[in-house]
Amino acid sequence: MTPVKETCLIAWLVTSLGVWELVQPIAAEDSQCQRAEHPVITYKEISPWLHEFRMKNAVDFSQLTFDPGQKELVVGARNYLFRLQLEDLSLIQAVEWQCDEATKRACYSKGKSQEECQNYIRVLLVGGDRLFTCGTNAFTPICTNRTLSNLTEIHDQISGMARCPYSPQHNSTALLTSSGELYAATAMDFPGRDPAIYRSLGILPPLRTAQYNSKWLNEPNFVSSYDIGNFTYFFFRENAVEHDCGKTVFSRAARVCKNDIGGRFLLEDTWTTFMKARLNCSRPGEIPFYYNELQSTFFLPELDLIYGIFTTNVNSIAASAVCVFNLSAITQTFNGPFKYQENSRSAWLPYPNPNPNFQCGTMDQGLYVNLTERNLQDAQKFILMHEVIQPVIPVPYFMEDNSRFSHVAVDVVQGKDMLFHLIYLWWSPGLEPRSDSRTLALSTRPR
Ligand SMILES: *[C@@H]1O[C@H](CO)[C@@H](O)[C@H](O)[C@H]1NC(C)=O
Ligand SMILES: *[C@@H]1O[C@H](CO)[C@@H](O)[C@H](O)[C@H]1NC(C)=O
Ligand SMILES: *[C@@H]1O[C@H](CO)[C@@H](O)[C@H](O)[C@H]1NC(C)=O
Ligand SMILES: *[C@@H]1O[C@H](CO)[C@@H](O)[C@H](O)[C@H]1NC(C)=O
Ligand SMILES: *[C@@H]1O[C@H](CO)[C@@H](O)[C@H](O)[C@H]1NC(C)=O
Ligand SMILES: *[C@@H]1O[C@H](CO)[C@@H](O)[C@H](O)[C@H]1NC(C)=O
Ligand SMILES: *[C@@H]1O[C@H](CO)[C@@H](O)[C@H](O)[C@H]1NC(C)=O
């Protein structure tokens, strides 16, 4: 059982609108099914099943997680951590987590505003009976390790650098593996010019993506991360390095092997298994209309499906779509050829994959003999896959013009004779989702 399958489905609910969609089960062969109009229910219509939580001074409800028993919801807001009853969002514990005055003063002296010089919670992860959480702490990120059943009880406080962004505006993601490694994708520095996917804590050596190398990461906005099998996956959008005419943003899936221990002489302290591929979410046509910018994802592990919200660029007409990807299509793309550019003036060309069906290999080959089956020269050269990851069906599941969705959550429910996918979508018209999230709402599934 996964979190969503339990009693209810939770999500951020920002100010006003929201749609609730009932989608037929995925059956790629059944073209009738693909074309079926999905019933759409508005936020107003589900309001009888909606619970709300708000507290004076608490804004920016940006992080949510569950306790292992699935009874409680742990929430990170600006300067606050909350434990709420999952059933009705009633408050169990509220803990203030403020920056101290000296840190705030140092933040102002760097030219940052009062609004920015606060503690925005950006990492909130449960590991056993502990909560590992990080906040921006007035551009001096810190992390604490707390008792999950009593959030005031702090065990450790460590630097949040490379684990949490400095700025509340920077988008980041992090996960904790069962063996205690933290994988964070975030800006590593104050100005936000050094983005990285970074592993720390645990017993494996710290590793990162190559620094200041636009072929690895090019002004990314990180969206989500998942621990799946031998790999850790990251979803983000970034400037497309392979696109030569003008600046374009593409959405990506990337992965690294969890047993990667970095290179020797070459790629020292750096991933040797980092690869990424483009995600295609578009309205088909003679000239497809692309929703290039990934905003949010939701993973259904029992079906190996990843739901994503994609939008157009902020500077163009607003439009959003929901596309669904299966893990086998993602794996297949990573097994295929790479896209390779000999030098900055040459064209990007497909290049055969030297290790198709790459499965991370073994790390324990004696003294650093073969770290993974990947050759280090190849690992440095081949980052981007040639093939594009295509969605399960070519037409987006849902499209809407004039709006920019910000969050998606999916619940699978058993109908009379089939499974239904309930897609919850949220957006806030004309407002930054993060800075205006003053209310946390939860919707229980109608019975
Ligand atoms: C949190 O504390 C526990 C117990 O001291 C420790 O085992 C764990 O490694 C810590 N986690 C992190 C992420 O620091
Ligand atoms: C929670 O932890 C704090 C700090 O260790 C302690 O003072 C408080 O009594 C604890 N609360 C409960 C309910 O155990
Ligand atoms: C983070 O993502 C949000 C939502 O897509 C976007 O509005 C914001 O500009 C992003 N932050 C940065 C620094 O790009
Ligand atoms: C994306 O999907 C559309 C619809 O199937 C297709 O026409 C288009 O060629 C695809 N684009 C890429 C880059 O794969
Ligand atoms: C993980 O990698 C090992 C070899 O390193 C392989 O035997 C195993 O099948 C892989 N696991 C999965 C889930 O693919
Ligand atoms: C290391 O891997 C290469 C292929 O990448 C292989 O030719 C070589 O035999 C391997 N060495 C050991 C000691 O396994
Ligand atoms: C996974 O998605 C691909 C399209 O990317 C599709 O061709 C394939 O049938 C899907 N596989 C399953 C098991 O649904």
Residue 271 included in any domain:
yes
Please tell me whether the overall predicted TM-score, pTM, comes out greater than 0.75 for this model.
yes
- Residue 444 is predicted with a pLDDT of 52
Contacts of 274 (CB under 8 A, 6+ apart): 197, 209, 216, 254, 255, 256, 379, 383
CB 273 within 8 A of CB 372: yes
Residue 41 included in any domain:
no
CATH number of the CATH domain containing 292: 2.130.10.10
- Residue 362 is predicted with a pLDDT of 61
370 CA → ligand 6 middle, Å: 6
Residue 28 included in any domain:
no
Residue 447 included in any domain:
no
112 CA → ligand 4 middle, Å: 43
Please provide the DSSP assignment of 235-264 as one string: EEEEE-TT--SS--EEEEEEEEETT----S
Domain that holds residue 145: 59-409
371 CA → ligand 5 middle, Å: 15
Residue 298 included in any domain:
yes
Residue 242 included in any domain:
yes
Question: What is the residue whose two structure tokens read 């497909």?
Answer: 350
How far is residue 85's CA from residue 261's CA, in Å, rounded to a whole number?
Answer: 41
Name every protein residue with a CB atom under 6 angstroms from any ligand 7 atom: 28, 326, 328-329, 390, 392
278 CA → ligand 4 middle, Å: 11
Q: What is the pLDDT along the chain (447 residues), one digit of tens a residue?
A: 233 222 223 333 332 334 545 444 343 334 434 444 678 887 778 888 888 888 888 988 889 999 988 889 999 999 999 999 988 899 999 999 999 999 999 999 999 999 999 999 999 999 999 999 999 999 999 999 999 999 999 999 999 999 999 999 999 999 999 999 999 999 999 999 999 999 999 999 999 999 999 999 999 999 999 999 999 999 999 999 998 778 899 999 999 999 898 888 888 899 999 999 999 999 999 999 999 999 999 999 999 999 999 999 988 999 999 999 999 999 999 999 999 999 888 999 999 998 888 888 765 554 444 555 678 888 899 999 999 999 999 999 999 898 889 899 998 888 888 888 889 888 755 444 443 445 566 555 543
How far is residue 143's CA from residue 275's CA, in Å, rounded to a whole number?
Answer: 28
CB 229 within 8 A of CB 258: no
- Residue 371 is predicted with a pLDDT of 55
Quick check: helix, strand or coil at residue 172? Answer: coil
Q: How many other CB atoms are found less than 10 A from the CB of residue 373?
A: 15
Name every protein residue with a CB atom under 6 angstroms from any ligand 4 atom: 280, 282, 284, 288, 388, 394
Residue 224 included in any domain:
yes
Residue 417 included in any domain:
no
Beta-sheet pairing, 440-444 with 50-53: antiparallel
Instruction: Specify the number of domains making up the chain.
Output: 1
Dihedral over alpha carbons 343, 348, 351, 356 (to 10 degrees) = 110
Quick check: helix, strand or coil at residue 344? Answer: coil
Judge if the beta carbon of residue 170 lies within 6 A of ligand 3.
yes
